[in-house]
Amino acid sequence: MIAVIILSAGESRRMGQPKALVPFPEILIQKEAERTPAPAAQRTFLEHLIEVTRHPRTGALRVIVGPHAAEIRARVKLDEGTLVFNPEWQRGQLSSLQAAIRSLPPEKTEGILICLVDHPLISAALVASLIKTFDRDKSRIVIPAYRGMRGHPVIFPSALYAELLNAPQEIGARAVVRAHDGDVVEVPVEEEGVVLNLNDPESLGRIANQR
């Protein structure tokens, strides 16, 4: 089983509202309507990521939250234990990843698929491609790459949990990636969303205009 971790514990100061609860860009919803008879018109960043990471190989879901925990809990209905509050959210993204790893059932996951809530423009097909690559060698780190640029989501094998838990806060998970560079598999993708950080209204506007 691969656990899905969605990091959503930031303050969202630039966005002006919790990024987890930002509605998926309307232009993308319209495109989805062409493919599905009843798209969720009010789907949020978080709900979209939960949807596209559903896969036969994924199991435990952890949504890591911080100062907006109450708002997210009220808006998005999640099973008990799925929402994990990070009391050290101000220490940054790595502290949320570490909180997620500590919350997982011991020795029951083969790896973790890490999603950033402000990188929501990914598809279920992309997630399936990353998982397929991971399943070929469960000791490797799997990273999508768009035109040579590495992005998210990333899969780490369970053998690296201890290193992630002890990674330096100032560098974060990148320290583990660098230490195991020879064990990294880059998956070339055509989805620019893996490298698009939607962290303010301006970035949302640009995406809407481009598409």
Residue 161 CB neighbours (<10 A): 19
pLDDT, mean over the chain:
89
Please give the model's pTM, rounded to 2 decimal places: 0.90
The answer to whether the beta carbons of residues 21 and 67 sit under 8 Å apart is no
Q: Which residue in this structure is represented by tokens 């969202």?
A: 12
Question: How confident is the model over 90-148, as pLDDT tens digits?
Answer: 999 999 999 999 999 878 899 999 999 999 999 999 999 999 999 999 999 999 999 99
Residue 207 pLDDT: 72
Closest CA to 99 of 194, 37, 165: 165
Instruction: Domain of residue 21: give its range.
Output: 2-210
The answer to whether the beta carbons of residues 142 and 196 sit under 8 Å apart is no
The domain total for the chain is 1
CATH of the domain at 23: 3.90.550.10
Question: How confident is the model over 167-189, as pLDDT tens digits?
Answer: 999 999 999 999 999 999 999 99
Residue 203 pLDDT: 82
- 169 DSSP assignment: T
